[in-house]
Structure 1
Amino acid sequence: MDFDLTEEQSLIKDQLDRLLKDRYGFEDRKKYMAAAEGFSPDMWSAYAEMGLMALPFAEGHGGIGGGPVETMIVMESFGRVLALEPYFATVVLGGGFLRSGASDEQKAELIPGIADGSTKYAFAQVERGARYDLAHISTTAAKDGSGWKLSGAKSLVLHGDSADRLIVTARTGGEAGEEAGVGVFVVDAGATGVSRRGYPTQDGLRAAEISFDNVRADHVLGDPGNGMPLVRTVVDQAIAALAAEAVGVMSAMHELTVDYIKVRKQFGVAIGQFQVLQHKAVDMYIATEQMRSIAMFATMMADSDDADERARAMHAAKVELGRGGRLAGENAIQLHGGVGMTTEYAVTHYFKRLTMMNTLFGDGDFHLRKLAALGGLFDKAA
């Protein structure tokens, strides 16, 4: 199998890496984090001008016609610099719901706003007590004439405080935890009855607690009583994107650590000359390459119509993200010594990001149990 990028994909990667190298240093990131939005509006506009927002959408909807590989390229580059902008929330999650669940009319109305960078989205899914269960939804959607009204509360909505529109899961029937009776709705974030409280997360991003009090939904995506297959499809695609971002995070963290042990001296010599520290650096490299391999596999499976096989790949990617990310992060901190625990050094921010990524949509232990229940990465019967 040929894993080389096409000429167009290589061009996307080179242009984005050059932009981030010029404008997304560690000090730049701290400045962007301090902005009112928690990220750089100028960088967001630059991504839009490059066409990054339009990558995964069909040309007929203002997109470029890319796929999971293009998303992988972008997310890995963002991981290397710990980008703060809501690309994942808007393009991967919000855009994923529109690509997979919207009608042609809805796509024509909603996708151009994402593609040109004018509209930001957030996925309002998590509720208190859910413990990674996507179907644990208590927020309700009641029929109101030809539309729906939503009531309930969502937690840890990634970039929910700056989003223009919200993708909200709500129950049209059944009880929390049941697969049936869940709808996926598009809500104007500024609509009457929407209340948002934003805050920074441990990795420097932003999230929000959002409540809905008889909020009228603008759109329902697909069947309002059978939305869980759509949710699981988009979450699987999002996990593939997270795996790619983890490759970027771990690669940068490994490079920072190797550079540090080459110049940090103890007993008159660089500590990188000590064999035991070289072994730890090699362990980090191996973990990074293993993450790269499973991220590629997850990317190839992201658009699979076989839900079980796709789920196996995503469970495995999250298991490796949790295991390999922790190994790489702990070794990076240890090799840096005391300074590795300070906010003045970039390495601690990379480890924080990996830790938060591990918990998003279920940590490694959760996905290991799910993968075991499916019989492992590959179907033995097949």
Structure 2
Amino acid sequence: MDFEVSDDRRMLADTLSRFLSSDYDIAARNKVAYAAPYHSPEKWAALCELGTLMALAPEENGGFGGTGFDVTTVFQELGRALCPEPVLAQLMAIRLLMAAGEDLEGPLSGTTRYAVAIGELSAPYTLDLIETEASGGTLTGRKSVVYGAPGADRILVAAMAGGTLGVYEVDGSDARVTAYGMIDGGPAGEVFLDATQARTVLADGAAALQDALDWGTLALCAEAVGAMDWSFATLLDYLRTRKQFGKRIGDFQALQHRAVDVSIEIEQARSITILAASRMGTPEQSRTCSMAKNLIGRAAKLTAEETIQMHGGIAMTWEYPLSHYAKRLTMLDAQLGDTDFHLERVMAAHMAA
């Protein structure tokens, strides 16, 4: 496997890093992430102008990337900056629209913002328990914790029609959306559909929906790696500068050992994310994404716990950035399937092999 980062991806990462560090620092992020609309429309437009979304689709679909490594490049930088913009929802929508052969000019330019409504109260992760119904060009049902739903122009909805799982598009203004910010910041909402007018995107969309979930899972893994990198760098800086009992706390061997354990977990998370990125578009895609999400869910939680404990009380305060990174790292496990869910998927894949 070639671990060398291409010049194009390095330029993309550098461009995103400069923009996010200068225009979207933690103070700006916290100002918008917890208050409606739970992100910054101005920063969304700026991200789109940088070509961020274009990196999520291949050239034949109007983008300039579209590989697993392009997606991880983007989301690692978003994770490093703790960016709350709904790029994840746009990525999943782009994958669904690609599968349907739809025009991607709107979603790739960011002028049309999408949300993808899959999870329900009784089926937060699984596709085979979806109860939302499609009939006569309308949808009826409720979708829960739909990321990016507040303010979305279009919502792609997973629904059943005659026993077949399909993908349908509704206008954001036609659906009733109860908007809220996630506990770690960023927009989400409950989507209520009551004979809501809908357009069929994919009559048989089970495979495309699983593909979108896989790409979303990969993106979350990369975001977690970026957030863990930032958290660990902050921890090292603190261990080198904070003094107690007349010496730097980083000189205490017990803390050194704990920091090394965290470093090992992060490198394992990085490695399996690289593996998952390399297997996108192959028969091993879904299984490897679940392997990555399971490992990263555990590594992210450990990183959050250890960095807070080694900082002490200051890391629990709202003003200290690490507290927000710890929340995001903890909540990442719940998005698109937690560690237990993905462990069961990996076990099922091995049993079927």
Shift of 1:102: 1.2
Q: Report whether the alignment pairs 1:330 with 2:311.
A: no
Whether 1:139 aligns to 2:138 is no
Once residues 339 and 313 of structure 2 are traced to their aligned partners in structure 1, the CA distance between those partners, rounded to angstroms, is 27
Picking from 262, 269, 289, the partner of 1:291 is: 269
2:304 corresponds to 1:315: no
User: Segments of 4+ in structure 1 off by > 6 A?
Assistant: none
The equivalent of 1:196 in structure 2 is 177
**Stretch deviating more after TM superposition (150-159 or 39-48):** 39-48
How far residue 36 of structure 1 moved from its aligned partner, in angstroms, is 3.6
Q: Deviations over 1:314-348 (max 9, x none)?
A: 11101111111111111111101122222221112
Secondary structure at 1:96's aligned position in 2?
helix
Distance 1:13 1:323, change over 3 A: same
Query: Secondary structure, in 3 states, of the residue corresponding to 1:170?
Result: strand
Residues 222-261 of structure 1 mapped to structure 2, 5 A cutoff: 222=202, 224=203, 226-261=204-239
The one-letter code sitting in structure 2 at the alignment partner of 1:202 is: I
Residue 112 of structure 1 corresponds to 105
1:41 and 2:57 aligned: no
- Do the aligned residues in 1 keep the contact of 2:58 with 2:67 (CA within 8 Å)? no
Q: 1:236 to 1:66 in 2, by over 3 A?
A: closer
CA contact (8 A) 1:247 1:291 kept: yes
Q: 2:278 aligns with which of 287, 300, 305?
A: 300
Q: 1:369 to 1:65 in 2, by over 3 A?
A: closer
Measure the CA separation in 2 of the matches of 1:119 and 1:196: 17
Which residue matches 1:32?
32
Answering whether residue 349 of structure 2 is matched by residue 369 of structure 1, we say: no
Q: How does 1:1-382 map to 2 (within 5 A)?
A: 1-33=1-33, 36-59=36-59, 61-90=61-90, 92-99=91-98, 101-103=99-101, 107-108=102-103, 111-142=104-135, 144=136, 148-174=137-163, 181-191=164-174, 194-218=175-199, 220-222=200-202, 224=203, 226-304=204-282, 306=283, 309-375=284-350
- Give, as a single letter, the amino acid of the residue that structure 1 aligns with 2:201: L
* Consecutive unaligned residues in structure 1, runs of 5 or more: 175-180
Identity of aligned residues (%): 38
Work out the CA distance in 1 between the residues paired with 2:155 and 2:337: 21
Query: Aligned with 2:111: secondary structure?
Result: coil
Structure 2 residues without counterparts, runs of 5 or longer? none
2:216 touches 2:336 (CA, 8 Å); kept in 1?
A: no
Q: Given that residues 39 and 84 in structure 1 are in contact (C-alpha distance below 8 angstroms), is that contact kept between their aligned partners in structure 2?
A: yes
Counterpart contact for 1:76–1:244, Cα < 8 Å? yes
1:169 counterpart letter in structure 2 = A
RMSD of aligned residue pairs (Cα, Å): 1.7
Q: Structure 1 residues 65 and 312, CA, compared in 2 at 3 Å: closer, same or farther?
A: closer
CA–CA distance in structure 1, aligned partners of residues 60 and 81 of structure 2:
32
After TM superposition, the structure 1 stretch with the greater mean CA deviation from structure 2, 23-32 or 163-172, is 23-32
TM-score, scaled to structure 1: 0.88
Listed one character per residue, the Cα deviations across residues 103-158 of structure 1 (whole Å, up to 9, x for unaligned) are: 3xxx22xx11112111111111111121532221111000x3xxx21011111001
Deviations 1:208-230 (Å, cap 9, x if unpaired)? 01111111113x233x2x32111
Aligned AA for 2:110?
G
Instruction: Quote the Cα distance in structure 1 between the aligned partners of 2:33 and 2:296.
Output: 25
Aligned residues: 353
CA distance in 2, matches of 1:289, 1:299: 15
Q: Tell me the distance in 2 between the aligned counterparts of 1:43 and 1:29.
A: 10
Q: Displacement of 1:28 after TM fit? A: 1.8
Deviations 1:79-123 (A, max 9, x none): 001001111111x11111111x213xxx22xx1111211111111
Q: Tell me how far apart the structure 2 counterparts of residues 96 and 297 of structure 1 sit (CA, whole Å).
A: 20
Deviations 1:182-227 (A, max 9, x none): 1111111112xx2111011111112101111111113x233x2x32
**Compared CA separation, residues 164 and 65, structure 1 to 2 (3 A):** same
